[in-house]
Structures are given as structure tokens and as C-alpha cells.
Amino acid sequence: MGMLKGKTDLAKLRRGEHVSIKHAIWAKCYECNGFGEGGVDCDVPSCPIYKYNPYKGISNAERP
């Protein structure tokens, strides 16, 4: 699958570097999704950024 969306963005944010809003959302989803352990739909539609989740619609069955 390669690198999951948000990993490099989270590192940039932690260093205090600027990232776009889209990449900040990816970073939060990466962090919330278990730092790469998940990479699947978080299935928390009550999350305010859920509709921007880069993993939305990906199930565990679809992961290698």
C-alpha cells in the first residue's frame, strides 16, 4: 500500500512547518487512525472532519 496519507504531514506539523488544511486533516486522520496501524475508515461519522477522511470507504478486507 505504501505510505499512508498524513504521515509526512503530521511530521511537518510537529516540526512547526506549514501544511495546507487538506494535509492537516490527513495528519489528524493518520494520528487518530493509529499512526498507520489502521489506514481504514475510522467509522466515526460524528467526527467533525469525517467527511474529509482520506481512508473513508476502505475496509480491513481491502488492505494488503
pLDDT in tens, 5-28: 788 999 999 999 999 998 998 888
Greater confidence, 50 or 63? Answer: 50
The string of pLDDT tens digits covering residues 22-41 is 899 888 888 887 766 656 67
Q: What's the pTM?
A: 0.68
Greater confidence, 30 or 56? Answer: 30
Per-residue pLDDT, 5: 77
What DSSP letter does each residue of 1-64 carry, written as one string? --SPTTHHHHHHHHTT----HHHHHHHHHHHHTTTTT--S----TTSTTGGG-TTTT--GGG--
